[in-house]
Amino acid sequence: MQQRDKLFINGTWVAPHGTGAIDVIHSATEDVMGRIPEGDARDAENAIAAARAAFDGWSSTPPSVRAGYIRKIAEGLKARTEELAQMIAGEVGMPIKLARAIQVGGPVYNWGQAAAMLEQFEFEEQVGNSLVVREPVGVVAAITPWNYPLNQITLKVAPALAAGCTVVLKPSEVAPLNAFVLAEVIEAAGLPPGVFNLVTGYGPVVGEVLASHPEVDMVSFTGSTRAGKRVSELAAQSVKRVALELGGKSASVVLDDADLPAAVKGTISACFLNSGQTCSAHTRMLVPRSRYDEVKAIAAKVVEGFTVGDPLVDSTKLGPLISAVQKERVTGYIRRGLEEGAELVAGGPDTPVGLDRGFFVKPTVLGNVDPRATVAQEEIFGPVLSVICYDDEDEAIRIANDSIYGLGGGVWSGDESRAIRVARRIRTGQVDINGGPFNMNAPFGGYKQSGNGREGGKFGLEEFLEYKSLQLKKPA
């Protein structure tokens, strides 16, 4: 078991003022795999003060020097890949092969990209008689979720540091151990004191201080839409910048000329990744009514290939959910879907055979789902796909857009130009065309109640910068 009893504030590991501790539960065994400090308001305030004191020095550090520190962090994380992969597979439940590639490989890549961007990003440009400069927004509070813990931390902390901001990080208390490894790597990289600070604890205590404190210039939050609304309310009192990456109910639109086996397999894979614990998961598959029976048969066969089991076993395709609470939530939604008239195509609410210990749920496909049903409207955050039938292209687009969310989605068609035309009509931040792969340098974020702001590539860096115009008497 990993015992952590200190917070990382102002470049040193310090005892917290909060006296409590939080257990970290292994998703597959239900054993306690770690324990972290339950920080309090004073700990958060101390971290903010350290970040504020460090800001002037860090913001005036040349970009090339900042890039050097960030590259060291990327190298430090890469050196601890296996340790981090095993840790996150236990915390979150993602199968180990995917954990290595996604949960650790993604962060290593994104730290490296943040350094590379700094070496080519234009912080100044001439516009008429104005010199327009980009400056760091200031002290950033990063509040991150548990589903892709290290990567969601990286997508905030790396570009914020690259921009010249200082940071206070509050990771999810459900999957926090990887954040301590990051802090150790940052310490080893020699980042100046106060530039990065780690405070663990609960959202209603630490998170509320970070979101409301007048010395915090920006809050970057990823999590539930409900919590995001609360962050926005608190941040509004001091008119700080807010970036939100929230929930999703993404639609995969399978058009009548699509390669049906590829579309169904691709959609199920996009739904079940990380046991469905992905905000942009394609959890609604919209199919032509005339092809429903074919879709059903293909889906049932595809789901058979998703072997459920121990995430540390290489052959496992689908690991557990993160917690008992999440398991109860997901199985409750499956029952609700069946009560509201959905057809059970695969899976169901019962615990998988032989997996009574751990937070395992059967990969489930619900067929003939009404577009207004609960399972078609609310984010489930588990391996549950709703198949919805439509009669024509316009109806498919209308159903896809009938959501409070707008984060991800897909369109499948034998004609790429048709797929792009349909994708342009879907109100969402990303649309995969015929299973196009995820691009970590493209902007990631949502429309509507999926949030505001973007992460990834230069778009993520720009979130942490302010414009300043210097009006010159004549053009330079």
**Residues classed as catalytic:** 245, 279
Inter-residue contact 118 to 63 (CB < 8 Å): yes
Cα angle vertex 78, ends 76, 79, to 5°?
65
Side chain identity at residue 467, one-letter code: Y
Q: Give the alpha-carbon dihedral of 338, 344, 347, 351, to 10 degrees.
A: 30
Scanning the structure block, which residue is given the tokens 């504030």?
A: 9
- Torsion on CA atoms 348, 353, 356, 357, rounded to nearest 10: -100
What is the residue type of 69?
Answer: Y
On whether the CB atoms of residues 150 and 76 are closer than 8 A, the answer is no
Dihedral sign for Cα atoms in the order 302, 307, 312, 314: negative
Give just the sign of the alpha carbon dihedral 236, 240, 241, 242.
Answer: negative
Tokens standing for 453? 């702001």
- Collect all residues with Cβ–Cβ distance below 8 Å to 269 and sequence separation of at least 6: none
CB 250 within 8 A of CB 276: no
In terms of Cβ atoms closer than 10 Å to its own Cβ (0-12, 13-18, 19+), residue 291 is middle
Distance of CA 188 to the CA centre of its chain: 26
Cβ neighbour number for residue 12 with a 10 Å cutoff: 11
Q: Confirm if 162 and 65 have CB atoms less than 8 A apart.
A: no
Contact status, residue 92 vs residue 27, Cβ threshold 8 Å:
yes
DSSP state of 198: E
